[in-house]
Amino acid sequence: MRFRKTILILVLFTLTSTIYGCGFKDIDKRFFVVAMGIDRGSKPNTYRVTLRLAIPSSKIESGEAKTEVESYESPSIAEAVRHLKALVDKELDFGHCRVILFGKTLMETGVADPLRWLSRRRDIAMVAFMGMAEPDAFNILKLHPQSERYPGNALFLSFGSEGTESSFTLTEYLFDWARRQSETGKDGYLPIIRRDIDNNSYRIDRVAFLDKQKLRLCLEPQEAQLFNISAKHFEKSFIAVPYQGTRIVLALSKIKSHVNISNSEAPVVNYYIRASGFLEDSPQYLLEGNAPNIENLLQTEFNSQLEDLLYKIRDAGVDPYGFGLHYLAQYFGRSKEWEYWKKAYPTVSFRVHSRIVIDKSGLIK
């Protein structure tokens, strides 16, 4: 009996001696990173990593959100993050990092290394919002808008559908951007975040296009909205045209499109798009017998603007619409077809065929 007790004690001692702590740290011993910025460093081949850290507060009022911004330069992002841990008194937690920004100078030289680091980190959420900061991510993350109720939420609410929904603001997620960087026949895009004129709010109404390596083109606000309509089918947008000394504004509610590419020596991209909506701003009694003429005017103006945009994007050497991928899918492309498309893309022609329908006058009597 005594021998059995001795054996049991030895077994329990052996089992308990192999159990280690899980390394879990309480929430009050963690710093939650709500936004991250990566810029080109001041020295050659270095990165400047900026983290915006949430500070818990009992006050939930506009302008009362508290954050701490820490920044460090290092030859690699991994080393910079390790050094940043030495500047704070709590463990850094990237599980709530919802915005990742790249500085414009970094985008101009290439973002392959930052993308590799983001993809390898298991605690970086692939649904984080992406953007290009102008002039740099550090100055954007330092901003503290008065409308912010929770740490960093003024930036989060600018993307997706949680807060404002503007046709000038494009939303891009990390998973989609990483996929576009490796996808054949489809290039990436990022919204551009700037400080507003009053320096206390964000301005996000432009978009940047990249090839597989670096920044190629930035669009102005009107062009960014046109891209949002045609490529992203953003329905809360509008088309505005001049008419007899005033403006006609059609608020869109439905958008559909499809693409057909000819297999000729000089391929022609036929872009068919149908949009409908209601008149949000127009002269009185505009639609009395003139609806077809107004629709033709909207279609002619829209076709012209979109064709100009497509040629501008083609001349920059990028393909954010994915015409190359569509060509490969339409003609069962292999490496031979892909090589042909790469040579032909700089000379392809675009023909936009739009159908704009006025559903309602927008008047309430």
| 259-294 pLDDT tens trace | 999 988 889 999 999 999 988 887 776 666 677 888
pLDDT at 9 over 70: no
For 179-238, the pLDDT digits (tens) are 999 999 999 999 999 998 777 889 999 999 999 888 999 999 999 999 999 999 998 899
Q: What pLDDT shows up at residue 282?
A: 75
**Rounded mean pLDDT of the chain?**
87
pLDDT at 100 over 80: yes
Give the integer Cα–Cα distance in Å for 227 and 219: 9
Q: What pLDDT shows up at residue 12?
A: 57
3-class SS of residue 142: helix
Give the integer Cα–Cα distance in Å for 100 and 114: 11
201-to-33, 37, 154 alpha-carbon distances in Å: 20, 17, 9
Q: What pLDDT shows up at residue 49?
A: 96
Confidence of residue 55 (pLDDT cuts 50, 70, 90): confident
257-to-30, 81, 116, 155, 271 alpha-carbon distances in Å: 47, 44, 34, 31, 7
